[in-house]
Amino acid sequence: MNKQFFSILITDYFHFDENFNIPKNIKSSYSNEILKLLKERIMKIENNDSNIIPIPRLGKNILNFDKDISDFLERNTITIEATSIWEIDEIGNVTINLSSRKWWEF
């Protein structure tokens, strides 16, 4: 799990409650294994884990993209050959049963 690039989508947070448990009113298409990994990574982000290096968005300026990437890798002593990208092989969706909670409780 270390030395891996990954991205957490804002919608991924809807799979969990404030304690990072799966609420009873939630149904996820992710497997339990994926949910476990997702939970671990979100918790690391929330706890400001020092092993996580945020990657800034480059915005519309793509003229220096290669140089910006090279600078980022060098600045953080990242060797591309020693890293991987975490890709979820499943399409994720979450269904929330709103009948048990008021909308403002989310």
Cβ proximity of 13 and 93 under 8 Å = no
67-87 residue pLDDT tens:
777 888 888 888 888 888 877
Convert the pLDDT of each residue in 7-66 to its tens digit.
Answer: 888 888 888 888 888 887 778 888 888 889 889 999 998 999 888 887 766 666 666 777
Q: What is the tally of structural domains in the chain?
A: 1
Distance CA 84, CA 22 (A): 28
Q: What is the pLDDT of residue 99?
A: 65
Would you say residue 101 has pLDDT above 80?
A: no
Backbone angles phi, psi at 84, to 5 degrees: -145, 175
Per DSSP, the chain holds a count of helices (H) and strands (E) of 2, 4
Tell me if 42 is assigned to some domain.
Answer: yes
Question: What pLDDT score was predicted for residue 47?
Answer: 92
- Domain contains 74: no
User: What does residue 5 show for φ and ψ, rounded to 5 degrees?
Assistant: -80, 135
pLDDT at 103 over 60: no
Question: What is the C-alpha separation between 78 and 69, in angstroms, rounded?
Answer: 11
Domain boundaries, position 11: 4-55+84-101
Domain contains 78: no
Tell whether 79 is covered by a domain: no
